[in-house]
Structure 1
Amino acid sequence: MPTQYRPTFQYTSATAPRALPLLGHAPALLHHPYDFVAGLAAHGDLVRLRLGPLDAYVACHPDLVRQLLTEDRTYDKGGLILDKAREVFGNGLATCPAADHRRQRRMLQPAFHRDRLPGYAAMMAEEIAGTTAPWSDGDVIDLPAAMYRLTTAVTARCLFAAHERAGSLPVHACMDAVARGVARRIMLPLPGADRIPTPGNRRFRRARRDLREITRRLIADYRAAGTDHHDLLSVLLSTRDEDGRGLSDNEIHDQVVTFLLAGMETTAATLSWAWTLLAANPPVRERLHTELDTVLDGRPARHEDLPSLPLTGRIVSETLRLHPPAWILSRTVTADTELGGHRVPAGATILYSPYLLHRRADLFPHPGRFDPDRWLTTARPAPGTYTPFGLGARRCIGDTFGTTEAALAIATIASRWTVTPTPHQSVRPHRSSSLSPRPFTATLTRRAR
């Protein structure tokens, strides 16, 4: 658990060293993004980057990140990363400006009301059990791909429960191509790079077009049926604002794509990293097995089991600390202002990185250590220190949905299987906007309780 950081009032500012002519820091961000960003805190609390012809600032101190995330009128959604993400998510909840956010949040909140979570969790449990049912003792699997298939099935079911074969909808391939296309645009923020007719850019445009057609047909089918299927799409179709207006088809499409990527990509990454961390820490894994044997006795986990699985929940929290899926994000400054006592002009891009914050030794003792028990203390993290889901009014609306899915998946799988990554392979993250691991294999061993 992080220490309660005492705010200081002398925040330092600097320009990151070793900028290249013309390109600035873009090559370092492209080729060594995680080490480069994590090392910026050593240079100051607010660090200036040069990315080709563009300038950006990185908020490295938790006090500045808290200010950045809670003053959402001054530091609006936008900047190098969010502007690129809007090519896919449009004006969805995760990317819309502050002027639209309040209306959207109020309209979408019923979809994530706590009373709906048990119903979603029941769908999650069915899909987790069904997706893992074909596994056999001794199977060697591509673990990230398997977790992606699992979260695709869960997300599609919770979104489109009325579709008889929601898990078989061709959203997996579309979202994979879309996510990689967004990542390329974010990690190489040079003007015009996304317009070059490369194979990757063509795949991105084709996948984006196909995804819109899938959602268009689903929306039309649901509108024609006029039935509440107790899923996310039903809520999107039925919700109304204060003036009685519903969401347009384009607005629903943007929200569906936002939920798809958040539900598939981020949770799959969290699960993939969790298995590597557990395999590298056998004492924690043994304690997890003991907890699961005591509570589940070999059956799949259910929503009502989660309060009795505290170690499972702490494993999710600690995995999100070490490997936050949304590891770097941006805001745009709407008016000349000061951040940490340093002038920042209107129009500037401000970046912040949960990955950087979560690996500060002054916030998390022994930050590289996988230690779920750091979350045993009753003290809450100081605002701005632990931010896998953001903070303030723009905190991720589906945070509890995602952590519930991850906990159910870990509990159900670990109660029946020991997942062991193949020795002597390097498990490294993609150079991407989402902290997902590259493909790696693991062996499934059926547990004898």
Structure 2
Amino acid sequence: MFRRPLDFLNSLPAQGDLVELRLGPQRAWMICDPNLVHQMLMDPHTFDKGGTQYDRLGALMGNGIVTCPQSEHRRQRMLLQPGFHPSRIAAYTELMAEEAEALCREWRAGEQVDVTGAMMALTTRVTSRVLFSGSLGAERAALVRESLATVVRGLFARTVVPVEAVFRIPTPANRRYQQALHRLHTLVDAIITERRAAPPREDLLGTLLAARDGDGAGGGEADGNATEPRGITDREIHDQLITLLLTGVETTAMCLASAFSLLAVNPEAERALHREVDAVLPDGRAPGHEELGRLEYARCVVTETLRVSPPGWLFTRVTTRETEFGGHRLPQGAMILYSPYLLHHDPASFPNPERFLPERWLPEQETTVRKGAMLPFAAGNRKCIGDRFAMAEAMVGVAAVAAQWRLRPVSGHDGQPRPAATLGPRALVMLCEPRQA
């Protein structure tokens, strides 16, 4: 599990639909059947967020929307939901396009580009503008990128190694992790303090600062008696911002890097994407919200990338009560694992699962996908709140680059996905070839 996790995951379906594992001294169960995964995700009161993954994520993110227990989820989701309303996504698409075009202007013909780093820079700038109206600045944005990369590298080990004492040893890697974590928390606290003293802004931090528990967020006592609304605390705002930074920057950057790596070695798919982009964006600019609806093949490219190399590739849940599940009697507190990577590479659901075939997701074929087999954003009421945002950002990034550049592999720099807290190419370097004369 630790040394070769992807191979290990792919070996498990042969053992059954629900496979018991040992993670050190701890027992866990891995779900290998998409129907069982769907059943679990649709019952969050029995299968709540928890397990070693969320214990460690909680130490990083606090009690934000990703890590909070089911009992607190509805209130938190309603606080954040206005920032992810479809009307907001349309506005965000314009700033995504601005940042993607700015990135493309930085590249030069024949230049070798650190694509992973460039995608991290792009998603950091987009996320910064959505959360903070772009108030991070270049120095702070670089600090966020570097700190997040260090934290993400350290999170996977902390998820699969259940012995906490190992991570208290002052090794260089542990010190780097703690320092990066401290920098992130300090930065977010500073931004909150600055914004409390500044005029209101139309961004997600502004939404949180203006929020009140009673403003459509499910406030009030359980017995129905009204309660006086109270402001959201700085601690709550801090936890949500850290959560959105981690999930908004790293995951989409990994998706984009994976997409360009896969397109480079699948020329037919790359040519099909270029034909569509040339037709929809003849002037080579990045797409706006209206053009996104016409970029059907670009959507297929992003979706197939999420199937082949899902950034969120391994998750845990914990049972809140004793329950019968998959033919097993599971005790209260049992840790359940599921892997979108495993489900997405099951040949029973996706013939030729190792092949990159965006055509799988054309409307006439998409309906044949087995229910519950494709889960890049989870399902049920804990489905990712930013799924539409992430899809729009990835499509804008893919189309904007494809309109101007063809990215070619560089010898010695493979684009293989590397598992950490997220999955994707960690140091992908590619050669820029201009497409427009």
- TM-score, scaled relative to structure 2: 0.93
Give the superposition deviation at 1:71: 0.7
User: Which residue is 1:183 aligned to?
Assistant: 156
- Structure 2 counterpart of 1:214, one-letter code: L
Q: Could you tell which deviates more after superposition, 346-355 or 247-256?
A: 247-256
Structure 2 counterpart of 1:135, one-letter code: W
2:271 to 277, 286, 301: 286
Q: Using a 3 Å threshold, how does the CA distance of structure 1 residues 396 and 164 change in structure 2: closer, same or farther? A: closer
Question: What CA distance in whole angstroms lies between the structure 1 residues aligned with 2:418 and 2:174?
Answer: 18
What secondary structure is seen at the aligned counterpart in 2 of 1:350? strand
Name the residue aligned to 1:437. 425
Report the alpha carbon displacement of residue 240 of structure 1 after superposing the two structures with TM.
Answer: 2.3
Q: Which residue of 1 aligns with 2:7?
A: 35
What is the distance in 2 between the residues matched to 1:272 and 1:176?
14
1:276 Cα deviation after fit: 1.4
Shift of residue 230, structure 1, vs aligned partner: 2.0
Of 78, 82, 99, the match for 1:110: 82
- Give 1:384 deviation, angstroms: 2.0
- Secondary structure of 2:2 counterpart: helix
Question: In structure 1, how many angstroms separate the alpha carbons of the residues matched to 2:374 and 2:67?
Answer: 21
In the aligned structure 1, how far is the partner of 2:417 from the partner of 2:358? 21
**Counterpart residue identity of residue 201, structure 1:** N
Which residue, out of 128, 131, 146, partners 1:159?
131
Alpha-carbon displacement from aligned partner over 1:208-266 (angstroms, at most 9, x marks no partner): 22211111111112221241x22211112122223433321111111111111111111
- Is contact 2:123-2:252 (8 Å) kept? yes
State how 1:34-433 maps to structure 2 within 5 Å.
34-161=6-133, 163=135, 165=137, 168-169=140-141, 170-227=143-200, 229-242=201-214, 243=219, 244-297=229-282, 298-376=284-362, 377=364, 379=367, 381-423=369-411, 425-433=413-421
Distance in 1 between the 2:293 and 2:414 partners?
35
Superposed CA RMSD in Å reads 1.6
Residue 192 of structure 1 aligns to a residue whose secondary structure is helix
Taking every aligned residue pair, what percent have the same amino acid on both sides? 44
Deviates more, 1:260-269 or 1:203-212: 203-212
Q: State whether residues 154 and 167 of structure 1, in contact with CA within 8 Å, keep that contact through their aligned partners in structure 2.
A: no
Counterpart contact for 1:155–1:263, Cα < 8 Å: yes
**Alignment match, 1:17:** none
Moved over 4 A (4+): none
Q: Any conservation in 2 of the 1:160–1:166 contact (CA below 8 Å)? A: no
- Alignment check: 8 A CA contact 2:65 2:76 kept: yes
Matched residue of 1:225: which SS?
coil
- In the alignment, structure 1 segments of 5+ residues that lack a partner are 1-28
Query: Aligned in 2, Cα 1:257/1:49: closer, same or farther, shift over 3 Å?
Result: same
TM-score normalized by the length of structure 1:
0.90
Aligned residue number for residue 4 of structure 1: none
Note the residue ranges of structure 2 that are not aligned, 5 or more in a row. 220-228
Aligned-partner Cα distance in 2 for 1:425–1:134:
21
Give the whole-Å Cα distance in 2 for the aligned partners of 1:164 and 1:156: 6
SS class of match (1:234): helix
CA-CA distance at 1:55 after TM superposition: 0.7
- Whether the aligned pair in 1 keeps the contact of 2:23 and 2:160 (CA below 8 Å) is no
For the residues of structure 2 that align with 1:143 and 1:187, how far apart are their CA atoms? 28
Stretch moving more, 256-265 or 183-192: 183-192
Residue identity in the other structure for 1:232: L
Kept in 2, the 8 Å contact 1:279–1:419? The answer is yes
**2:209/2:232 contact within 8 Å kept:** yes
> Letter of the aligned partner of 1:175 in structure 2?
L
Distance 2:169 2:93 in 1: 43
Deviation string, structure 1 residues 326-370 (Cα, Å, up to 9, x no partner): 100000111111111211111110000000000111111111111
State the alpha-carbon separation in 2 of the partners of residues 204 and 166 from structure 1: 22
Mapped to 1, the partners of 2:138 and 2:382 lie a distance apart of 29
Residues 24 and 161 in structure 2, CA contact (< 8 A), matched pair in contact too: no
Question: Contact 1:55 / 1:349 at 8 angstroms: preserved in 2?
Answer: yes
Residues 51 and 190, structure 1, Cα contact 8 Å, conserved in 2: no
State the shift of 1:166 in Å: 6.3
Deviations along 1:4-26, one digit per CA (max 9) or x if unpaired, are xxxxxxxxxxxxxxxxxxxxxxx
Give the CA deviation at 1:430.
Answer: 2.4
